[in-house]
Amino acid sequence: GKPAKKELYELRRYRLGDDDQRKRLDAFLGEAAIPAMNRIGIRPVGAFGMMTGEGKDLIVLLPHPSAESVVTATGRLLADAKFLKDGGKFLKAPKSAPLYQRVESSLLLAFDAVPKLETAEKADTRVFQLRTYESHSVERGQKKIEMFNTGGEVAIFRRAGMNPVFFGEAIVGTKLPNLTYMLVFKDMPASKEAWGKFMRDPAWRKLSRDPAYKDTVSRITNTFLRPAAYSQI
């Protein structure tokens, strides 16, 4: 059959100044914004807080079926009367009390090996791991993507119990070229166990020594996240 249509992901980081801002942003997303996003076809929406000393920022993951969906989303939301009503007090927050400091965003295109978002783990204890691999050149960055896809690294992840949520190539954003992916585990011990299994897998040992994939990653950013109460992922 023909290959699955690949999703696009907007990955947002809401920069927050204090607990009050976080509380208000949580209320806005949970009560107004996420239900409205679902109504225009953006679903499921993930919302995550930092687990490790990285402050109060909120990470929001928006899966889009197409580029058209990405570029028209704001207009479609603002044309939704229920969203304007439910989110009114937040949307009209005064300059002196904004909902957030600023939003940083990147646009990612799903990998062939994981064309659509997956939500395998539902446990209340679940933790998410968000990782970004930067490369020193576009060619090496593409080679790393190939390593995950046809090289079989995604298959090794799955075998080790490292459940993908998404894998994406950054199309727009900072620190390019990069790829970003998210994994989900039942809890922190499960994450440790899975990474150990992955590192010991003979297929990974062989793949990681393949000279074709030498110097594909120059910098890794790693963050552990917990889902917000209203997260759909």
pLDDT for 122-157, tens place per residue? 999 999 999 999 999 999 999 999 999 999 999 999
Q: How far apart are CA 203 and CA 141, in angstroms?
A: 21
DSSP structure class, residue 229: T
Report whether pLDDT(5) > 90: yes
Mean pLDDT score, 77-81: 98
Residue whose entry in the numeric block shows the structure tokens 């969906």? 69
Tell me what pLDDT residue 83 has: 98
The structural domains of the chain, with segments of one domain joined by +, span 8-227
How far from chain centre, in Å, is Cα 76?
22
Helices marked H in 81-201 — which ranges?
81-86, 88-91, 138-149, 153-160, 188-200
The CATH number of the domain covering residues in 8-227: 3.30.70.100
Tell me what pLDDT residue 10 has: 99
User: 3-state SS string over 118-138?
Assistant: CCCCCCCCCEEEEEEEECCCH
pLDDT for 23-54, tens place per residue? 999 999 999 999 999 999 999 999 999 987 66
Taking Cα atoms as reference points, which of 225, 203, 188 lies closest to residue 51?
225
Within 8 A by CB and 6+ apart from 157, the residues are 164, 183, 198
The mean predicted confidence, pLDDT, of the chain is 96
Q: How far apart are CA 116 and CA 7, in angstroms?
A: 6
Burial class (CB in 10 A: 0-12, 13-18, 19+), 87: buried
Report whether pLDDT(229) > 80: yes
3-state helix, strand, coil in the chain (%, to 5): 35, 25, 35
pLDDT for 150-184, tens place per residue? 999 999 999 999 999 999 999 999 999 999 999 99
User: Is the backbone of residue 210 left (phi > 0), alpha (psi -120 to 50) or beta?
Assistant: beta
Q: How far apart are CA 136 and CA 208, in angstroms?
A: 18
Q: Tell whether the torsion through CA atoms of 8, 110, 157 and 133 is positive or negative.
A: negative
Report whether pLDDT(55) > 90: no
